[in-house]
Chain A
Amino acid sequence: MEINLKDLLKKYKSHPYEDHEIRTPHTGVVHINVEDGQEVSGPTGRWKHRPGTLLYVLEREGNPKRITSRYTGFVAKLRKDLDGSFVQAGEPVMLIRHRLNKEEIIDRILREVLYIFPAPQRARYFFTPEVSAAMEKDKKKALNLKEGDEILIMSLMKRDTLLSYEGPAGVLYKVYFNHGDLKEQGAPLLGICSPERLPFVEKMIQRIRTEWDD
């Protein structure tokens, strides 16, 4: 599928947000605790153990459940009319609009444009010595990949398995792990870009980096 990069950029420019709809998890009486446009924060702390801003309290059978924000952003489309009334499960109460920063936009665009090679298992990942040496030798030179190339070593509990690349041929554009990182199954490892699309992608990222205001 051909992706129109200009349109993609335009899309993010016109709406640089990620919207999260907040729906009631079950029935109950809603007591709203925020105002429209109010800034809210998601969970904080090293282990995300401090809950985010209290959005509303949903009370059912004498059990007031505190619903806190999981995202950082601001409140939009708040259904103030629901305050104090009984609602059904799945009722939208508000949107948390998270403004995307430069890196988040680049990341999202890349995930749409690039072919992502995911981690097949929860393991530690390394580049093969040949690939590693080639990348070290000339850091600027793009690494071309084609199906069947042995590129990664998957290591877990002293079992090292060679991984061959599977996917469309292209240039290795982004690496999503550090040497020896433990990655969960399905986490992105590599982002591969087709050679013909590469100049556009680079140009666009350059434009975002220079023009975009955080």
Chain B
Amino acid sequence: MRLIPGDIIDLMLAQNDIATGQDRAAIEAALGLNQSLVAQYFSWIGAALTGDLGNSLWQNVPVVDQLAATLPITFELGLLAMIVALSVALPIGTYSAMRQDTAGDYISRSFSLLMLAIPSFWLGTLVMVFPSVWWRWSPELNYIPFTEDPLQNLKHMLVPAVLLGLSMSAVTMRMTRTMMLEVMRQDYIRTARAKGLSESLLVLRHAVRNGLIPVVTLIGLQAPLLIGGAVILEQIFVVPGMGLLLLEAVFQRDYPVVSGVFLIVGVGVLLINLLVDLSYGLLDPKVRHQ
């Protein structure tokens, strides 16, 4: 059912070809661009199935190698951002629901609305400009692989990860709040309260676990958002991840790289959704026993 994205890849591929083909008619033959679009697509798909995504048109290195070099970096950024988002959204969302219609609730709801409205590239720009003007401090911009110096690497990744995480936390926070409000009105919560369970145990053991299930779905739905946000933040903070690779490839019309990134993104989103589906079993005994 979800195999249809191939159509889109096909479309993108085809259109990219037209754009490049006109400019470089002479080198077309050398790069194999002179075949029909359909033939190109099938040879690309055929090769892709065996793990060969072709070579970059500019650097003449295999696209697979470029992806292998950049994917872990974006993955790290995304993972850090996810951690930030969840550790902001879950407690605040729960708090907001527990204290519905109090000042704290309004403040945290306004905060989440604000986070939805602030463009991450503006926050990124502010973080770059103002500390440097005021305190002569600017975020680290030299990328050091995690394996070489984990601390230095985290120092570089932290700022973009926090920014990305904050912008992601907005929707999650709203969802957490809605779900917690719904759960807290259930009969079993009233029963638990009636038997004298402490409020914290009530929330942690009974409410959160039931309220979390839709939130987990949301995390899966947000995976595309994460990747999109990574493109912008990687550009601002010079993180050599997949987003930066895509952007450079787009500007250079390096279409094997573009379609490679596109393929990985599609597969990545599908995998994340699969993981989300599997995690229901862990979270929800009702699913497990069916």
A and B from one complex: no
B: residues with CB less than 8 A from A are none
A: residues with CB less than 8 A from B are none
